[in-house]
Amino acid sequence: MIVTAAAVLAFTAMAVAGDNAQLSEQEVMTHIREAGFPEESVNTMLCVAQHESARRPRAINVNRNGSTDYGLFQINGSVWGSRCEIDRLFDPAYNARCAKIVFDEQGLTAWVAYNKHKALCDNYFPRGR
């Protein structure tokens, strides 16, 4: 399949035009827990979601290398596309399950946001507490 620049722009426009409301911290924490993350990682992963996507399930980012990151945890389609269905990554529950695969295989350092905000994320507490 050949993907043209116009197709990518159309896909991006659809992602932006769709419902991209910010999820609450509690909603994100529910997705993290239901994906099977250890309880001691829940707050850290919430911080990752905050800094990767601003807790927006339809967030999309085209990287300098041309690859694209999708959804709540900004799952990279080029790296994880064989393990996670790209067209489902805007579903926050599915995205969290894919994030668990990333977490299990590469740990927290797989996320740029974690590496950049490590001190904050390692001590993160939801604002609602």
Residue 18 confidence class, pLDDT cut points 50, 70, 90: low
Residue 120, pLDDT above cutoff 70? yes
Closest to 65 (Cα-Cα) out of 80, 76, 54: 76
Share of the chain above pLDDT 70, in %: 84
Would you name the residues annotated as active-site residues? 52, 69
Please state, in angstroms and as integers, the Cα–Cα distance from residue 63 to each residue in 6, 23, 36, 76, 112, following that order.
17, 24, 28, 9, 12
pLDDT 10s digits, 37-87: 999 999 999 999 999 999 999 999 999 999 999 999 999 999 999 999 999
Give the strands of the sheet with 60-62, arranged side by side.
60-62, 68-70, 75-76
Q: Kindly state the DSSP code that residue 121 receives in the 8-state scheme.
A: H
The domains of the chain, with CATH numbers, are: 5-122 (1.10.530.10)
Question: Residue 108, Cα to own-chain centre: how many angstroms?
Answer: 12
Instruction: Note the pTM of the prediction, 2 decimals.
Output: 0.84
Residue 15 confidence class, pLDDT cut points 50, 70, 90: very low
